[in-house]
Structure 1
Amino acid sequence: MEMKNGRQSFFDGGLISLIGWSILGGVITIITFGICYPWALCMVYGWKINHTVIEGRRMQFHGSAFSLFSHWIKWLLLTLITLGIYGFWLSIKLEDWKARNTSFVN
């Protein structure tokens, strides 16, 4: 654990939990034919962020699957309208959405 200004940064999640959440997210996505992928993404990403401490400050994810789903539909429509060109920006948009829904607890 590196210390910066006397504060530690670390991740306190476990491998078994990560595997479990990832499998659950995958199963949910497959069973719903991808419709619940935003929920699975929020579930796994939230687990990762909620187990992260940066410089002594725990992070918290407060995004919702409903919020991501509404963005997902908009992004899908923009990708279809632009014949796939908007798809190049999807990963950037998703990272932006994640950052906007992540904050520090303390």
Structure 2
Amino acid sequence: MATDNFYETKNGRTSFFDGGLLQFIGWTILGILVTVFTLGIYSFWVFIKLEDWKAKNTSFVN
């Protein structure tokens, strides 16, 4: 399933990202829709939610 091509090593730590493109697109579309419905109020949290999604889908091997 996962090969060495999916691993990245920085500063002596090896990480693996297991998030999918469709999940990212879904969260982005959801963020845009909620921003429109809240008249822009949610726009401050869209970036934070996307960064949180990236962090949750990154695993460290070491």
**Higher helix fraction: Structure 1 or Structure 2?**
1
Partner of 1:51: 8
Larger radius of gyration between Structure 1 and Structure 2:
1
Q: What residue number does 2:4 align with?
A: none
1:85 is paired with a residue whose SS is: coil
**Superposed structure 1 runs of 4+ greater than 4 Å apart:** none
Q: Percent identity?
A: 52
- Name the TM-score, length of structure 2 as normaliser: 0.76
Point out which structure has higher relative CO (alpha carbons under 8 A, 6+ apart): 2
The whole-number CA distance in structure 2 between the counterparts of 1:52 and 1:85 is 38
- 1:103 and 2:59 matched: yes
Q: Which SS does the other structure have where 1:63 is aligned?
A: coil
Q: Which residue of 2 aligns with 1:63?
A: 19
Measured after TM superposition, the shift of residue 58 of structure 1 is 0.2
RMSD (CA atoms):
1.6
Listed as ranges, the gaps of 5+ residues in structure 2 are 1-6
